[in-house]
Amino acid sequence: MTVRRVMGAETEYGVLATGNPGANATVLSTQVVTTYAALVRRRLGAAHAAAGWDYHGESPLQDARGYTVPREQADPSQLTDVAPVLTAEEIAAEALTETGLYAESMDRRQVVMNTVLPNGARLYVDHSHPEYSSPEVTTPRDAVLWDAAGDRVALDAVRAIAASAEGTGLDVVNLYKNNTDNKSVSYGAHENYLVPRGVAFDRLASGLLPFFASRQVVCGAGRVGLGDRGQRPGFQISQRADFFEREVGLETTIHRPIVNTRDEPHADSHRHRRLHVIIGDANLSHTASLLKFGTTSLVLGLIEAGAAPDVVLADPVAALQAISHDPGLTATVALRDGRRLTGVQLQRLYLDAARAHELAGGGPDAATREVLELWEEVLDALESDPLSLADRLDWVAKYALLLGYRRRDGLGWDDPRMTLVDLQYHDLRPEKGLHHKLVAAGRMRTLFDAEQIERAAGTPPADTRAWFRGRVVTRFPDDVLAANWDSVSLTLPGVRRGARVAMPEPLGLARDDVGPLLDGAADAEELVRGLAAARPDLVHTGSLG
């Protein structure tokens, strides 16, 4: 067993025009995506419009429990497999081009709502938030790095918008990596893990419920206010806990379930399942993020091996909220067998099972050992001296700051300054964001420095198909018509109706596989011809239009 598996992260950013609080969120999000797409095109020296997203292969209504939800029964927000029809907001977004903001850097004035980045990620307008979906990676460390790269992408967009605001008259936009506005609305930070198709979904769900209800003690981001509108004063461990209503389900925007059943593998569906995790908080702490991806991958390994701890919560949704509402970490939740355990004790059951399984299996690899040791260290500290983790975990760092304000200024939990500290912890700008301030002051540990993160914002991981996607977009930006998780479509002068390259295997078309071919090709056509000779099963020419 190992922490290594194909995984990825998605972040929906909170979006705010400080000078214009009533501004339309879809327009602001479009401004963010369009601005960053223009930055990329300028950096790459590209002439044409940004590569679009290809909706071919999306199946958001396929349920992992073995059926498909009829479209007419789905909430409109679930229909993510079609390009958005122009709404009033999007027509308003067209007005962005009228200002001439993008004319300078693009030959066609175009509003971009969905694009593929040189690091293999997707950046798009998801309803009313800008969303960054990281490239596929194979280790928790890489998941942390390419998730943090998304924050750098978002920061670059914020800065570019601010720099041009005076000339364009457009709103200055701030982005926040958090999950709620404390006014009944929540937005997600999702994780994705590749799981063998052979593992029965009900085993995944039952193995994950107690783990997901309790892992917030490690990777919660902290929140001021209890209840979906923050109507009761107090502090809680998780941003997301109060927005979950069900144990298992397909929805992501309404009646949110702890275990999501969307069965959309973006890969060979006979071999793979993509577990779509919607319960997590957005993390800025690298340690919390590493443990979020690392421990979840280990628990999936336990479930796959039939070695998950035998633990069933009496009421998982109530347990999720009870654990979140108790930053003192003493609250216990009921198990179906009558026992009562704290969140930390639940986590320790999983840690012990993972340790035992590793020992039986002959010892972990380095990446796995790092996660196991850190997990144990953090659980020990949560039991002995939680505040000692203020330099490593988001919720503890935020809690320690807030306790400082209570001590110095006697602020109540319902004081607007407490809510502001909570919100501003997540501001992505180094000069304003409190997480950034803690890192700069040497009070918060990191795993990667700013330079490494900046590099990951422009470079794909080498060991998955994201490498092919990202490098093709980088090398031949004007030839990529569209791309998605499992294909890249190219328009080629010498090939009528272009070519589509299929990428059914997440580990296929990595650097070791096609590096020399891709880097050696003089143009996109040479690449496609070379690839068609080597892998005829993956290249379909004349398939576009």
* Binding region for other proteins (CB under 8 A): 12, 14-16, 18, 21, 25-26, 77, 126-129, 176, 180-183, 185-188, 190, 234-235, 252-253, 278, 326-331, 386-387, 399, 401, 403-405, 407-408, 415-417, 419-421, 423-424, 431-432, 434, 437-438, 441, 443
How far is CA 525 from its chain centroid? 33
Classified as helix, coil or strand, 515 is helix
Q: Closer CB to other proteins, residue 45 or residue 328?
A: 328
- Rounded CA gap, 136 and 504, in Å? 13
What is the H or E stretch that residue 236 is in?
strand 232-236
Cβ 369 to other proteins shortest distance, Å: 31
End-to-end CA distance of the chain: 45
- Rounded CA gap, 387 and 376, in Å? 16
What is the H or E stretch that residue 540 is in?
strand 539-541
- Rounded CA gap, 322 and 456, in Å? 38
Cβ 404 to other proteins shortest distance, Å: 5
Structure tokens at 363: 């010892």
Structure tokens at 124: 């798009």
Judge whether 126 counts as a catalytic residue: yes
| Residue of 126, 147, 463, 513 with catalytic role | 126
Cβ 136 to other proteins shortest distance, Å: 19
Which residues make beta-bridge pairs with 334?
A: 340
Q: Closer CB to other proteins, residue 339 or residue 443?
A: 443
Closest listed residue to residue 344, CA positions, set 205, 191, 211: 211
Q: Closer CB to other proteins, residue 161 or residue 481?
A: 161
Q: Closer CB to other proteins, residue 359 or residue 387?
A: 387
Cβ 465 to other proteins shortest distance, Å: 24
Report CA torsion sign: 438, 440, 443, 445.
positive
Cβ 8 to other proteins shortest distance, Å: 15
Q: Closer CB to other proteins, residue 175 or residue 527?
A: 175
Cβ 432 to other proteins shortest distance, Å: 6
3-state helix, strand, coil in the chain (%, to 5): 40, 15, 40
Give the relative orientation of helices 316-324 and 201-214 as an angle to the nearest 10 degrees.
20
Cβ 252 to other proteins shortest distance, Å: 4
In 339-494, which ranges are E strands? Answer: 340-341, 480-484, 487-492
Structure tokens at 133: 């979906």
CB-based contacts of 242, cutoff 8 Å, min separation 6: 226, 227, 228, 236, 321, 324
Report CA torsion sign: 99, 103, 106, 109.
positive
Residue 502: CB atoms within 10 A of its CB come to 17
Cβ 214 to other proteins shortest distance, Å: 17
- Rounded CA gap, 269 and 323, in Å? 36
Residue 407: CB atoms within 10 A of its CB come to 9
- Catalytic positions, written as ranges: 126
